[in-house]
């Protein structure tokens, strides 16, 4: 089960999730991903850790696909994630600041 509350995400461990990341310009207009733009979704235990628990990168799309193998071996609990966009121009922007990524318990494994 996937729950999204603001920027906070709750996902049952081992489930599939498709996340469409809204991206807006400084003027508040919707940004359309260009073919060379890269979106990076990063999950860590907390902001100070250097190792990623998992990271997803997509080019030319604002849809992140979390696969069952990304989370099935992680302990239940709360983690931190953020989303960054690297534009073909070389500019880099954080489009979702560090927020909660919670893995919820499951009965069926």
Q: Among 59, 53, 61, which Cα is nearest to 21's?
A: 61
Q: Among 31, 23, 6, which Cα is nearest to 94's?
A: 23
Per-residue pLDDT band for 20 (boundaries 50, 70, 90) equals very high
Residue 26: the pLDDT is 85
What is the tens place of the pLDDT at every residue in 46-99? 999 999 999 999 999 999 999 999 999 999 999 999 999 999 999 999 999 999
Residue 101: the pLDDT is 98
Q: Among 102, 104, 64, which Cα is nearest to 83's?
A: 64
């Amino acid at each position: 089960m996937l729950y999204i509350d603001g920027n906070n995400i709750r996902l049952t461990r081992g489930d599939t999730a498709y996340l469409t990341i809204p991206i807006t310009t400084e003027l508040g207009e919707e940004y359309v991903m260009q073919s060379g733009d890269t979106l990076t979704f990063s999950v860590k235990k907390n902001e100070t850790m250097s190792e990623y628990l998992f990271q997803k990168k997509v080019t030319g799309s604002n849809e992140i696909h979390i696969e069952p193998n990304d989370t099935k071996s992680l302990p239940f609990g709360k983690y931190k994630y953020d989303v960054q966009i690297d534009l073909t121009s070389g500019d880099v922007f954080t489009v979702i600041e560090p927020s909660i990524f919670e893995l919820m318990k499951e009965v069926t494994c």
